[in-house]
Structure 1
Amino acid sequence: MRQIDVLWGDDGDDGRINWLKVSVPLLLCGLFLAVMWFFLPAEQWLLLVGMMVAYIVPPLGRETIIPVCILCGIPWWLAAFALAFLDFAGGLFMAWNFPLVLRIPRIGPWVSRFVAAGRTFLDRRPWLERLYFVGLIAFVALPFDGSGSIVGSVVGRMLGMTKTEVLSCITIGGIIGSFAIALGIDYIVNLIPEGTGFWVSLAVFLLIGTALLVMYRSYSRKQETNA
């Protein structure tokens, strides 16, 4: 594994806050929502905003957010693009402001816990270190516990990757993961007979999600037992 300082503080940063680096990812998200305002009904726009906020705050992931968006009438491709865009913006923010994030009260300790989660994930899956680029894409794309742009940035640094490499992996993984789930959910929606109520459709998705979660948990426990 290549060795690079874990905290991404090795680029000559003197500790001062670069407000441009802080604001650009936030402004990109604001610009995206402003554009969507002209193309979506007010109710769907508010739902999209709420789902994007929910995606940022754990424990909800794209496997939960995307089905809800699609069931509420948001096009599958827009739901997928919105979350993939959030992954890109989050990865960009972490690449530019990682040392700053660790200094923020409450958020810093929260990120530090994800650092520990990322280290545990790597210890259990050494193949990530051998296939670091593809492995990080898979980590972001697949619904692992704690995966996403924040922990993905931490894991990328643990693997000795540069900021550009990590941001590329997060962007590619976000696109693959979001669009794969959205396409699958859209296919399932088309299989459900027309006229089926919202709650019945939601129950179907919850059952499918629960089954997948149980299978993943069983696989994880088996891997831990073998280790």
Structure 2
Amino acid sequence: MRQIEIWGDDDPDDRTNVLKVLIPFLLCGLFLSIVWFLLPVGGWLFLFAMMVAYVVPPLGRESVIPLCILGGIPWWLAAFTIVFLDFAGGLFMAWNFPLLMRIPRVGPWISRFVEAGRSFLDRRPWLERLYFVGLIAFVALPFDGSGSIVGSIVGRMLGMTKTEVLSCIVIGAVIGSYAIALGIDWVVNLIPPGAGFLLSIAVFLLICATLLVTYRNHYQRPETEG
């Protein structure tokens, strides 16, 4: 497996380290400030809660985007929000990986992601062969642990530069997020206007159940010997 050092090439004494930490958060603040003028207060608070739910596991885009759309957030804004969060997360990882590895509790937590990434690559050699396209597919498809954090680690393990990894994260996030948003919006439009909130929730639960069954069938099959 082609590997290089996991982004340990940053100068720990670089005076721009503070900006590298703050800029992703400032961008998120700017995004929320702009959205404030696009949504009513209740919608803004709901979107903010969904952003927090996406950043803090275990919810992924396959859950957050449908919830946003069913909660009244426009499908394009729900998708763009997830893309933006993946971009901000990838930017933060690209700039601050060595710093994160030195934090007592965060470093070991990331190290476990590194081990998970190595295991993931060992089980899926096609990802290495496809290189750039493979990482895009990893981020776009609802794999367990896919996203900007693990995607950054896997990309660096593949020997990709920070720019390449961030590009893959953004492209994969656009493909995955907008595909889900368009699909959910199409399903929601099939529901009669007077059907009510409970039917919308039932449709959402049905979609989640379908995704769960698909995941268990394809990604959690017991390994066979030989």
Q: Tell me if TM exceeds 0.5.
A: yes
Look up the SS of the partner of 1:134 in the other structure.
helix
* C-alpha displacement of 1:104: 2.5
Kindly indicate whether the alpha-carbon contact (under 8 Å) linking 1:17 and 1:100 is maintained by their aligned counterparts in 2.
no
Match of 2:174 in 1: 175
Match of 2:66 in 1: 67
Rounded Cα–Cα distance in structure 2 between residues aligned with 1:202 and 1:155: 35
Is 1:26 the counterpart of 2:30? The answer is no
Rounded Cα–Cα distance in structure 2 between residues aligned with 1:221 and 1:42: 41
* C-alpha displacement of 1:226: 7.6
Letter in 2 for 1:141: A
Rounded Cα–Cα distance in structure 2 between residues aligned with 1:117 and 1:143: 16
How many equivalent pairs are there?
226
Structure 2 unpaired stretches of 5+: none
Kindly indicate whether the alpha-carbon contact (under 8 Å) linking 1:2 and 1:161 is maintained by their aligned counterparts in 2.
no
Range moving further from structure 2, 160-169 or 114-123: 114-123
* C-alpha displacement of 1:105: 3.6
Look up the SS of the partner of 2:223 in the other structure.
helix
Kindly indicate whether the alpha-carbon contact (under 8 Å) linking 2:10 and 2:98 is maintained by their aligned counterparts in 1.
no
* C-alpha displacement of 1:106: 2.8
Rounded Cα–Cα distance in structure 2 between residues aligned with 1:66 and 1:189: 12
Letter in 2 for 1:165: E
Match of 1:163 in 2: 162
Kindly indicate whether the alpha-carbon contact (under 8 Å) linking 2:126 and 2:134 is maintained by their aligned counterparts in 1.
yes
Match of 1:101 in 2: 100
Is 1:43 the counterpart of 2:42? The answer is yes
User: Measured at CA, do residues 3 and 121 of structure 1 come closer, stay the same or move farther in structure 2, by a change above 3 Å?
Assistant: closer
Match of 1:5 in 2: 5
Superimposed CA distance per residue, residues 64-116 of structure 1 (whole angstroms, 9 cap, x where no aligned partner):
00111101100000000001000000000000000111222433222222222
Range moving further from structure 2, 121-130 or 97-106: 97-106
Rounded Cα–Cα distance in structure 1 between residues aligned with 2:176 and 2:189: 20
Match of 1:224 in 2: 223
Is 1:118 the counterpart of 2:113? The answer is no
Root-mean-square deviation over aligned CA pairs: 1.8
Rounded Cα–Cα distance in structure 2 between residues aligned with 1:56 and 1:107: 15
* C-alpha displacement of 1:4: 2.1
Range moving further from structure 2, 202-211 or 75-84: 202-211
Rounded Cα–Cα distance in structure 1 between residues aligned with 2:72 and 2:57: 24
User: Measured at CA, do residues 116 and 67 of structure 1 come closer, stay the same or move farther in structure 2, by a change above 3 Å?
Assistant: same
Rounded Cα–Cα distance in structure 1 between residues aligned with 2:108 and 2:195: 45
Match of 2:85 in 1: 86
Match of 2:139 in 1: 140
Structure 1 unpaired stretches of 5+: none
Superimposed CA distance per residue, residues 126-165 of structure 1 (whole angstroms, 9 cap, x where no aligned partner):
0011111101001111111001000000000111111000
Superimposed CA distance per residue, residues 9-36 of structure 1 (whole angstroms, 9 cap, x where no aligned partner):
1244448771011111111110000011
* C-alpha displacement of 1:2: 4.2
Q: Percent identity?
A: 74
TM-score, normalisation: structure 1: 0.93
TM-score, normalisation: structure 2: 0.94
User: Measured at CA, do residues 157 and 45 of structure 1 come closer, stay the same or move farther in structure 2, by a change above 3 Å?
Assistant: same
Match of 1:204 in 2: 203
Rounded Cα–Cα distance in structure 2 between residues aligned with 1:216 and 1:186: 22
Look up the SS of the partner of 1:224 in the other structure.
coil
